[in-house]
């Protein structure tokens, strides 16, 4: 990202994700479902209770690997008795961005342990495995050729430090899974569905690779 994009990201008054954050805050405070309870009803002020939460996801909860979007929906179903919010919807992106915003500037804190090692290993296999009609692996671009250009666009190191983020190409907020699916389609592979275990394992591996880096949610990217 160039200096103009970084300046847009770091100034919350010009960050185009500002309105999504405001929507997320409103959703946090709104009572939902048969339980008629808001996220704030259990967790209080999200600016305090959600600090550091996004740095630890994806994580194993109740024996299942979940990303942050899935954890939010699990709370809706179990606690609020409400329907899950659809993947990549304006509402789920806004609520996830709001929760993620409370960890902005904190280091990613995912460590390999007995509960998640096999999922990290599975994500690594997918990152390094060739796929699609172009027979390319994620690692070929993001490990072997980072810093170079592909069709005039710089190749990054695949650090997922800012999701959900506002991508100027999309003119909207988007999740890490949306970006991963774009790459899969780009190499002419069949993309995994949103929330698929394979996708969450890949998310975990990428976040583990980026451990120690600071979260920038909601970031701005070209």
- Active-site residue list: 183
* Sequence-ordered list of residues with C-beta below 8 angstroms from that of 43, at least 6 positions apart, any chain: 49, 50
Are 166 and 221 a contacting pair, CB within 8 Å?
yes
Q: What beta strand segments (E) does the chain contain?
A: 59-61, 64-66, 149-150, 153-154, 165-167, 172-174, 220-221
What is the CB-side half-sphere exposure of residue 21 using CA atoms within 13 A? 19
Residue 63's Cβ-count burial label (10 Å; 0-12, 13-18, 19+) is exposed
């Amino acid at each position: 990202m160039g200096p103009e994009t970084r300046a847009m990201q770091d100034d919350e008054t010009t960050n185009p994700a500002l309105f999504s954050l405001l929507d997320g805050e409103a959703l946090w405070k709104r009572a939902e479902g048969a339980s008629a309870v808001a996220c704030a009803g259990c967790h209080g002020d999200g600016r305090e209770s959600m600090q550091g939460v996004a740095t630890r996801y994806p994580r194993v909860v109740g024996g299942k690997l979940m990303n942050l979007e899935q954890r939010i929906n699990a709370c809706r179903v179990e606690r609020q008795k409400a329907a899950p919010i659809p993947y990549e919807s304006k509402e789920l992106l806004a609520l996830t961005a709001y929760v993620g915003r409370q960890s902005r500037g904190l280091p990613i804190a995912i460590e390999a342990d007995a509960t998640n090692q096999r999922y990290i290993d599975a994500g690594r296999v997918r990152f390094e495995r060739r796929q699609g009609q172009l027979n390319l692996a994620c690692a070929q671009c993001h490990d072997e050729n980072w810093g170079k250009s592909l069709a005039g666009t710089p190749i990054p190191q695949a650090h997922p430090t800012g999701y959900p983020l506002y991508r100027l190409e999309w003119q909207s907020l988007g999740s890490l899974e949306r970006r991963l699916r774009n790459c899969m389609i780009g190499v002419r592979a069949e993309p995994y569905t949103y929330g698929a275990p394979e996708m969450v394992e890949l998310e975990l591996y990428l976040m583990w690779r980026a451990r120690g880096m600071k979260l920038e949610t909601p970031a701005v990217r070209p």
